[in-house]
Structure 1
C-alpha cells in the first residue's frame, strides 16, 4: 500500500514553499515567441530569394557538376559576357573561384569557420539551399584564405583548371574535407553544393549575340 505523502502548508509565507512558477512560464513563452519569429523571418527571407530575380541572374539550376560543366563549355565556346549589372569578377576569375571550391573539397579549406558556425548557421543555410535547389550568395566573396584571384588570368587556363577540378571530384572515392561554411558533407551533398555554386555564378553570364 502506497504511503500517503505528508501534507504541507500552502500559504505564500510557508516554510519550504516553492517560488511561483509564473516567471519561468513567462520566460519560456517569451523564448518560444522569439524562436517562432526567427523561424518566420528565415522562411520569409527564403521566400524572398525564391521570388527575387535580378536582371543579371538567369537562376540556373543543376543537379550535378557534369550538368553545370556543360553550361560552362557552352559559354566558353562563344562570346561569353557578364549580364548587366556586371559582376565584380570577370569570366576567368569566376572559373578559378569555382575551381578553388571544388579543389578545397578534396584538399581541405584553408580557413574554415568554427565548428559552432558550421553546425548551426552553415548547416541551416545548406539545408535551405538544398531544399529549394538553388543557392544565393555574394558573387564577389572569395573563399576564406584562398589565394587572391587574378583579373588578368588567361581564360583558357582558368577553364582548364576548372575542368581538371571537376574531373578530380568525379573520380574521387575517398573522404571529403568539411566545407568551410557547411561543415561535413558526403559525396552526394557535395555534388549538390558544387552544382548549386556553379549555377549561381554561371547565372550572371551568358552568350552575347
Structure 2
C-alpha cells in the first residue's frame, strides 16, 4: 500500500484513528516498534543523534539524497534499519502505547523552539525540511501496514 501524508498534522489524524481499528498486520517490525522508531527519529532532531555519518557524507551524498526526497515528495528506505547508535527498541507495547509515543514526539517537535540537531545522514535541516522528512519517513513505514481482514 502506498501511503502519503502532506504534513505531520495528517500523520496525527491517522494516529488518532488507529486505536479503533482491528489488528494491523506488518511485514517487517511489529507496529509498536514502527511507531516507537518513528518517534525516536523525531526526538533525535531535538536532542542529537547518537551516531553521525562523517561530515563529508552529510555535506555531499546526504544533501543530494534529502534534496531528492524533498523534491519528489516521498522516500524509500530500509524499513528494518535502526537508528545507528540508538538503543534497540526492546519493549513491545500496544498500538495505543505506540501512538502515544509518536504523538508526543510530533507535538514536542511542533512546539520546539531551540536549535535543531543535524540529521545523522542529511546534515543541517531547517524545521520545515525536518517536518517534511519526518512526514515522508512515517509514510514509508506506514506503507507496509495492512488492516487485518
Pairwise TM-score range, normalised by the shorter structure:
over 0.9
- Higher RCO, 1 vs 2 (CA within 8 Å, ≥6 residues apart): 2
CA distance in 2, matches of 1:208, 1:158: 18
Which structure has the larger Rg? 1
Report matched runs for 1:16-165 at 5 Å.
58-83=1-26, 86-87=27-28, 89-150=29-90, 152-165=92-105
Contact 2:15 2:103 in 1 (8 A): no
Count of residues in correspondence between the two structures: 149
For structure 2, which runs of at least 5 residues remain unmatched after alignment? Answer: none
Q: Distance in 2 between matches of 1:158 and 1:137?
A: 21
Equivalent residue for 2:115, pick from 160, 175, 181: 175
Unaligned 5+ runs, structure 1: 1-57
Deviating runs (4+, > 4 A) in structure 1?
none
Match of residue 19 from structure 1: none
Using the size of structure 2 for normalisation, the TM-score is 0.92
CA RMSD of aligned residues (A): 1.5
TM-score (norm 1): 0.67
1:75-116 deviation digits (Å, cap 9, x = unpaired)? 332124235xx11x1100001000000000011000011111
